[in-house]
Amino acid sequence: MHVRTAAFALLVLILSACQAPSRPEPEPAPPHERVLAGYFTEWGSYGRAYRVQNVAASGAAGKLTHLLYAFGKVDGGRCAVGDPWAAYQKPVTAAESIDNVADTGATPLRGNFGQLWKLKGAHPGLKILWSFGGWTGSAGFTQAAKDPAAFAKSCYDLIKDPRWSGLFDGIDVDWEYPNACGLQCDRSGRESLAKVLAALRATFGTGALVTAAVPGDVKKLGAVDLSAAAAQVDWLSAMTYDYFGAGNTDVRTAPHSPLTTYPGIPRAGATVEATVDQLLKQGVPSAKLLFGVGFYGRGWTGVRSPAPGAAATGPAPGTYEKGMEDYKVLAGRCPPTGTVGGTAYARCGAQWWSYDTPDTIRGKVAYAKSRALGGVFAWELSGDTPDGKLLTALAG
């Protein structure tokens, strides 16, 4: 009886093992967080009247993962405040404040920084970075590259200044351009950007964000070791706009930020796709790569044909500079009349403009997802409509 019971038990175990379900496959790792970043310009609070309040009112603050404050300056190889009055000194009125509370003489932190504190309190998931450099503020990087450790310490001390310590979650480097020419020329060498970023990473540690903007021009991309630079940062932001424009002495119309090439493009490789391909080819991981979308248009005047490639007599008039206008103005004044290379263009009278629309931005976002890129960013938020139509499309 005992033997038969044991045999029966063994048979039950064998049958149970045969009928047991197979071990479930492990769930795939969740995809990396997609970055949706937007630049907020320090000077926007003046003539443009675009304030931190607008970031909240437009709905942008609820969509952005990161806000980049542009720009601090690099002076003598050290980080410095760009405009102290706009940044933290100017009293903000109740009508211009994010919470309708005016700054007073007793307000410890005023200006944009004070408003950013309030924005961060209302949107605790929003990360804010202080960006240094820019087109007119990059000359000091040449000196910074000679002593990256001293540069990094100056940036750390400034960002951790007790007056606003805790406001910024990291630093963004907008060097235009390392080992190449922008408004001025730099000859710091191929490793210059990587060395500066490595010093920042060592100083700020792994808990802070360290990011950098890189050119859209594929020739300038070859001037530095971007693989080494990418190893030091959370992401690199490719400035994929201004490939063409009347301000660049181009005498024929062309879209300033085409996604793809098209027949008759004035310069091969002047597309978002070509820039992305080059960055990936140079060893930048796709998850660490963002590309930018301009919230503005580039325009010509004296144009007699609606199609791209027409002759022009010069830059079209713009509110703040010739040949350039915000999307929020162009959308009503000179609406799109066609698309080319994945972006839009418009002819109104003798003027011809190119710019991205919500529809073309959705196409660019789809492209970014198809390449498994880390995300996208906007330059810059003040060009959008008051209800944030472009950023909504960019949030995809």
The answer to whether the beta carbons of residues 327 and 243 sit under 8 Å apart is no
Q: How far apart are CA 340 and CA 354, in angstroms?
A: 10
Q: Please give the positions annotated as active site.
A: 176
Q: How far apart are CA 224 and CA 213, in angstroms?
A: 13
What does the buried/exposed string (b/e) look like for 175-194 if buried means 16 or more CB atoms within 10 Å of the residue's CB? bbbbbbebeeebebeebbbb
Q: How far apart are CA 52 and CA 358, in angstroms?
A: 23
For residue 122, give every residue at least 6 positions away whose Cβ sits within 8 Å of its Cβ, in sequence order, or none: 56, 61, 98, 99
Pairing of strands 296-301, 324-326: antiparallel
Helices (H) and strands (E) in the chain, counts: 14, 15
78, 108, 222, 238, 367 from 190: Cα distances, Å: 21, 43, 9, 18, 30
How far is Cα of residue 388 from the mean position of the Cα atoms in its chain?
16
Considering only the C-alpha atoms of the chain, give the largest distance between any 2 of them, rounded to a whole number of Å: 107
CB atoms within 10 A of CB 254: 27
